[in-house]
Homo-oligomer: A and B are copies of this chain.
Amino acid sequence: MKQVLVIHGGAGVIPQTFPPEKIAAYKQGLARALGKGFLVLKNGGSALDAAMNAILEFERDPLFNAGRGAVYTADETHEMDAAIMNGRTLDFGAVCTVRHVKHPIRLARAVMEQSPHLFLSADGAETFAREKGLEFVDNRFFDDAYRYQQLLEAKEAGAIVRDHDIEAAKPMGTVGAVALDASGNLAAATSTGGTTNKACGRVGDTPIPGAGTYADNRTCAVSCTGFGEEFMIKAAAYDVHARMIYQGLSLEQAARKVTFEHLEPGSGGLIALDRHGNFALPFNTPGMFRGVQTNDSEPRVNIWE
């Protein structure tokens, strides 16, 4: 059986004039997340654990917009969303508007495995996190001078902006991972700080099953990044699944149709993986931080085409 991990760290403008040391730092961050996640698969672990471990590494890295590194709301706070889905069982867990949980993806997983519900918001999500003993931090833990500068620029521009569209030289991004394990099971996971200067309480596509995150062993695992509102109304992740199951398209065909015909140009990208180990990483923006590792190839990370 093939083992495959595919990750993304956000899509957007990401100009090629970006300083070389920054490019190197992003590529190192991608490689670390890929390595942490793939190690799970190499050791015979589950797709679910592999996807989660990749996201945990992204949440630790301030270069990426998830966990530490989450962007600022209009109120100068941080509010995070995350989701995880098991392609074998369709089990799903998500949280939105989380402010004090160090690793939102762990909370999404706890919701999936330990709650009778699938999706918890805001204070209710944090009450559940306390009951389950998850690690809490002050909201200021997520502060970052670079992110704060981005907020000031966004406010000056009067814009609620997706990660990569304010000051093109400062890419950030929702993070995601899709994995296939040796048992042939798929999983998807996504985590984000949302959009800089967003109103408090704004929920994007990340925690919406079928929008930013979806997994079904019969078809594919998908994680999206981009203009969340567009991905929500287009049910982007589920649409990849639907085109495969109802039209008989291949993973590659379905992922490309969704990215280049279903979604608006410039709206973002997605990663998709099927149980045969086929994968696709299409994006309709100039760039997308991304990486792939399989049991029979070296890890690869990329930013542009």
Contacts and interface: CB of A to CB of B under 8 A. Distances in A.
Interface in A120-155: 120-125, 127-128
Nearest to A89: B233
Contacts of A242: 238-239, 242, 246
B201 A127 contact: yes
B199 A229 contact: no
Grouping DSSP codes into helix (H, G, I), strand (E, B) and loop, the A interface class, with mixed when no group exceeds half, is mixed
Interface string A185-208: 000000000000011111110001
- Chain copies in the assembly? 2
Among A123, A124, A200, A238, residue most surrounded by chain B Cβ atoms (within 10 Å): A124
Contacts of A235: 209-210, 214, 235, 238
Given A242-B246, A243-B246, A199 B117 contact: yes
19 contacts: A85-B233, A90-B233, A96-B96, A97-B124, A117-B198, A117-B202, A119-B203, A119-B232, A120-B199, A120-B201, A120-B202, A123-B200, A127-B200, A208-B210, A209-B211, A209-B233, A210-B235, A210-B238, A242-B246
